[in-house]
């Protein structure tokens, strides 16, 4: 440790005070005492504040032990004489003029070291930031690049510094900011003379309205931005998958779920099982509730495409204006409201099966459009130019007589033949009534589980009632009748009483008692109940019920509300 230099100052006026202040800021100087004739001289206040001893007689100061230097700041000859007499031999004396000169040198030195310290700190900061930094002066001369700049761009500081930014990277953010005098954010460009893509923020440095230079900070695109782009791409994929999942139902039923062993029914099962293995188009026809949809699922499930999508389209439910976009999808921006690209049913069904339900309810115009896709298996999305090829197996179903419709000119003949490669006719339940007991048995098991009951069968009269009934709603109606009976049954056996409300003896049965007379209102209720029982409670079932009752769907809903 260097020894402290002990200094005494004589004179607390302007000159003395400024010397005092400079010396005070130097670490290895100890101000031993300040002396002034007047205790109210400015320097005296400073000394008192700093707890530096003060005195009014020069002799007192001179008598201090181990004093190295006395600075004389009064310029008074008498004072100078008294110092010369009073001071110890080894104590030097310096007059104000010399002291001021020295103070000046010291101050400059201090400032210099302060600047050195600041520069050291700045260097440490600029060297440690991960972002690349480049600075150019007002005329574009590159004056500084930090180490990250060299790391990111692969350029050396030696080569870069001294070049002109307007030549080296004319389209970069720094050149732009300096040309336009405006800051630039998130600018994507390539660093001049390299293949490195970067994202930059640049600012001009304007002092008093004059362009003094500019600074740019950038990051290579590789890191965070590439990740962001990947993230965006992944989000797009997730969105697409979500839409697909929402629109695809994988087939949920297999041939094992289809009951029935009557020869008439087995014929249909055999043909369906054979057709499943091929890629042929299958047209399933049959009355409502005969299991057309069930067969369509089973065919897909037993085909080689079983693990691929099964996409159902209810042709009767698609308004004409939406048909194209439903089937072929649309490109983002194809029309107002097309905010993102949407895949059509055909594309969703790619490599799997498309199930065209209620194909007989499609108008001729739509039939023509569908025919074209089925023939070519290629199409463009609405608003798109790219041709999309798909590989889709077609299964269609209808409860209408398409042959008859072709004759009448309401169904296109060419479309009929296109669909009718394998013709699967499902028998109505009245054609295989022998299967009813087996159906009822499996339904009782199912509803016992659902309602927590322990029903174990039917009485013989109940079974006879079921066997004598006409079943216009086929298996679906049978399901509904058993379900309702199971709701009301309290014993462990279903009797004909539980069924009577639902199953009317067939109209054409001979020897049938005349029905009791009821009010028209009651009749209406019964008919509506009957129709729902036949077609089911689902929206589709209600639509069919309304159709048969010849009322609108809205009217049906209104009446149901009044009944309940």
Q: Is the dihedral of CA 457, 463, 465, 466 positive or negative?
A: positive
- Cα 325 from chain centre: 24
Q: What angle do CA 13, 15, 21 make, to 5 degrees?
A: 95
Q: Which is nearer to Mg ion, 132 or 356 (CB)?
A: 356
Range 229-288, binding ligand ATP (CB under 6 A): 258-260, 286, 288
Contact 478, 436 (CB under 8 A): yes
* Binding status of residue 399 toward ligand ATP by CB under 6 A: yes
Number of residues that bind ligand ATP (CB under 6 A): 15
* Binding status of residue 292 toward ligand ATP by CB under 6 A: yes
State the Cα–Cα distance between residues 2 and 176, nearest whole angstrom. Answer: 55
Residue in 5, 7, 18, 37 with CA at minimum distance from that of residue 97: 18
Q: Which is nearer to ligand ATP, 47 or 396 (CB)?
A: 396
148-157: list long-range contacts, CB under 8 Å, 24+ apart. Answer: 152/191, 152/196, 152/198, 152/218, 152/219, 152/220, 153/191, 153/194, 153/196, 153/198, 154/194, 154/196, 155/191, 155/193, 155/194
* Binding status of residue 294 toward ligand ATP by CB under 6 A: yes
* Binding status of residue 300 toward ligand ATP by CB under 6 A: no
* Binding status of residue 427 toward ligand ATP by CB under 6 A: no
State the Cα–Cα distance between residues 39 and 391, nearest whole angstrom. Answer: 107
* Binding status of residue 524 toward Mg ion by CB under 5 A: no
Residue with tokens 């016992």: 448
Cβ at position 506, least distance to ligand ATP in Å: 21
User: What would the DSSP string read from start to end of 85-116?
Assistant: HHS-TT-EEEEHHHHHHHHHHHHHHHHHHHHH
Contact 32, 64 (CB under 8 A): yes
Decide the pairing of beta strands 353-357 and 393-398: parallel
Q: Which is nearer to ligand ATP, 93 or 316 (CB)?
A: 316
Give the SS3 label for residue 286: coil
Q: What is the contact mask toward Mg ion in residues 275 to 314, using x (rule: CB under 5 A)? A: ------------------x---------------------
* Candidate list 91, 169, 290, 325; residue touching ligand ATP; CB under 6 A: 290
Q: Which is nearer to ligand ATP, 91 or 479 (CB)?
A: 479
Sequence-distant (≥ 6) Cβ neighbours of residue 552 within 8 angstroms: 546
Q: Which is nearer to ligand ATP, 518 or 553 (CB)?
A: 553
* Binding status of residue 472 toward ligand ATP by CB under 6 A: no
Q: Which does 305 bind (CB under 5 to 8 A by kind): ligand ATP, Mg ion, none?
A: none
Q: Which does 395 bind (CB under 5 to 8 A by kind): ligand ATP, Mg ion, none?
A: none
Q: Which does 475 bind (CB under 5 to 8 A by kind): ligand ATP, Mg ion, none?
A: ligand ATP
Q: Which is nearer to Mg ion, 218 or 310 (CB)?
A: 310
Q: Which is nearer to ligand ATP, 55 or 397 (CB)?
A: 397
Q: Which is nearer to Mg ion, 62 or 315 (CB)?
A: 315
Q: Which residues bind Mg ion (CB under 5 A)?
A: 293
Binding site for ligand ATP (CB under 6 A): 258-260, 286, 288-294, 399, 475-476, 479
């Amino acid at each position: 440790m260097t020894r402290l230099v002990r200094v005494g100052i004589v004179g607390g006026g302007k000159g003395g005070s400024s010397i005092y202040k400079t010396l005070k800021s130097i670490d290895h100087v100890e101000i031993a005492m300040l002396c002034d004739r007047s205790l109210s001289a400015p320097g005296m206040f400073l000394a008192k504040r700093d707890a530096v001893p003060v005195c009014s007689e020069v002799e007192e100061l001179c008598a201090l032990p181990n004093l190295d230097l006395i600075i004389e700041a009064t310029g008074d000859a008498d004072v100078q004489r008294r110092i010369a007499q009073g001071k110890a031999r080894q104590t030097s004396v310096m007059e104000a003029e010399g002291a001021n000169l020295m103070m000046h040198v010291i101050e400059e030195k201090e400032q210099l070291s302060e600047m050195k310290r600041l520069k050291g700190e700045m260097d440490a900061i600029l060297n440690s930031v991960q972002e690349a930094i480049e600075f150019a002066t007002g005329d574009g001369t590159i004056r500084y690049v930090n180490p990250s700049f060299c790391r990111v761009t692969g350029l050396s500081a030696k080569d870069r510094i001294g070049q002109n930014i307007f030549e080296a990277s004319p389209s970069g953010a720094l050149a732009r900011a300096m040309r336009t005098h405006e800051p630039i954010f998130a600018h994507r460009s390539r660093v001049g003379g390299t293949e490195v893509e970067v994202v930059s923020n640049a600012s001009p440095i304007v002092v008093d309205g004059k362009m003094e230079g500019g600074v740019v900070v950038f990051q290579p695109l590789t890191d965070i931005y590439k990740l962001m782009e990947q993230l965006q791409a992944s989000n797009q994929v997730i969105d697409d998958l979500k839409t697909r999942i929402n629109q695809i139902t994988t087939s949920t039923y297999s041939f094992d779920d289809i009951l029935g062993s009557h020869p008439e029914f087995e014929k249909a099962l055999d043909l369906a099982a054979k057709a499943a293995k091929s890629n042929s188009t299958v047209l399933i026809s049959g009355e409502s509730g005969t299991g057309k949809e069930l067969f369509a699922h089973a065919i897909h499930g037993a085909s080689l495409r079983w693990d691929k999508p099964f996409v159902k389209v209810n042709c009767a439910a698609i308004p004409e204006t939406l048909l194209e976009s439903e089937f072929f999808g649309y490109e983002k921006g194809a029309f107002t409201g097309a905010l993102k690209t949407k895949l059509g049913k055909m594309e969703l069904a790619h490599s799997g099966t498309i199930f065209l339900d209620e194909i007989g309810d499609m108008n001729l115009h739509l039939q023509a459009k569908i025919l074209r896709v089925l023939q070519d298996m290629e199409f463009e999305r609405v608003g798109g130019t790219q041709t999309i090829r798909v590989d889709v197996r077609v299964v269609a179903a209808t409860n209408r007589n398409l042959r008859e419709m072709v004759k009448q000119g309401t169904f296109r003949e060419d479309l009929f033949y296109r669909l009718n490669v394998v013709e699967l006719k499902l028998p109505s339940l009245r054609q295989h009534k022998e299967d009813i007991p087996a159906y009822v048995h499996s339904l009782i098991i199912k509803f016992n589980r659902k309602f927590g009951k322990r029903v174990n069968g039917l009485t013989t009269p109940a079974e006879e009632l079921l066997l004598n009934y006409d079943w216009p709603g086929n298996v679906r109606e049978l399901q509904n009748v058993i379900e309702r009976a199971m709701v009301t049954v309290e014993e462990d056996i279903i009797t004909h009483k539980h069924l009577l409300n639902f199953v009317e003896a067939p109209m054409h049965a001979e020897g049938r008692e005349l029905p009791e007379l009821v009010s028209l209102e009651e009749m209406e209720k019964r008919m509506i109940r009957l129709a729902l029982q036949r077609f089911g409670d689902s929206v589709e079932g209600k639509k069919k019920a309304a159709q048969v009752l010849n009322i609108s769907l809205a009217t049906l809903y209104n009446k149901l509300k009044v009944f309940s």
